[in-house]
Amino acid sequence: MSSWSHRLLAGDVVEGPLQCRNHECNAEPSRAILLERCISLRNPWDVHAFAPDRLLVLGGVTIPYERGLDGHSDGDALTHALVDALLGAATLGDLGSYFPSNDSRWKGQPGKVFLASVFDVVCWQHQWRIGNIDATIVDAHIPAMRSYLAEHLHVERERVSVKATTTDALGFAGRGEGIACYAVVLLERDGRED
């Protein structure tokens, strides 16, 4: 697993170009001071190998295919990357710390169980709002995945982007051995963090 993350807090001075929305830009266009909200980003990814006798589930959508993804739960790499992005952006750990693969309670569980639990922790207990979601996979069932993720994270479908890419036959995904999914989540919270 790999990730990039950064957190901006109300009052932080930011170098570089920014759109002046929900913050005040001073006279120097390359600097802005965030005044009204805290934001946090994380960009993790999840990988699962193909396995026989399993359903292929991505973004909560079952895709007709002769193999599914290996994993302790449902193997939904897209949902797992998104759960990791939510937890990481809120600095609350990762998927494995909440749903360890050696815990039989999570055996075969669908991604919506993880989404519901993490939504409760991140958005209700820690008062974050989901600003938007951006995910990348290699698949053509994107509209159904956007709807599923939006429904289970209680956000408008317009805030969820799922897009496809290819590896041009490179690496394990290009050889048809598995799937990789990347997800970015923008979390927002009013005011300065304590």
Q: In DSSP terms, which residues pair with 188 in a beta bridge?
A: 39, 129
User: What is the reported pLDDT for 20?
Assistant: 35
Q: Are 110 and 149 a contacting pair, CB within 8 Å?
A: no
Q: Is residue 76 part of a domain?
A: yes
Compute φ and ψ for 104, nearest 5 degrees: -65, -20
Q: Is residue 78 part of a domain?
A: yes
**184 or 92, higher pLDDT:** 92
* Domain total of the chain: 1
Q: Is residue 113 part of a domain?
A: yes
Where residue 11 falls (left for φ over 0; alpha for ψ -120 to 50; beta otherwise) is left
User: What is the reported pLDDT for 5?
Assistant: 42
User: What is the reported pLDDT for 102?
Assistant: 92
Q: In DSSP terms, which residues pair with 61 in a beta bridge?
A: 58
CATH of the domain at 128: 3.30.1330.50
Q: Is residue 6 part of a domain?
A: no
Q: Is residue 2 part of a domain?
A: no
Q: Is residue 26 part of a domain?
A: no
Q: Is residue 120 part of a domain?
A: yes
Rounded to the nearest integer, the mean pLDDT of the chain is 77
DSSP structural state of residue 27? S
Kindly calculate the radius of gyration of the chain based on its CA atoms and give it in whole angstroms: 18
Above 80 in pLDDT, residue 122? yes
Across 23-27, 28-32, 79-83, 186-190, the highest mean pLDDT is recorded for 79-83
Domain of 85 in residue numbering reads as 39-190
Task: Dump pLDDT digits (tens) for 33-68.
Answer: 444 557 777 777 788 888 999 999 988 889 888 888
Q: Is residue 13 part of a domain?
A: no
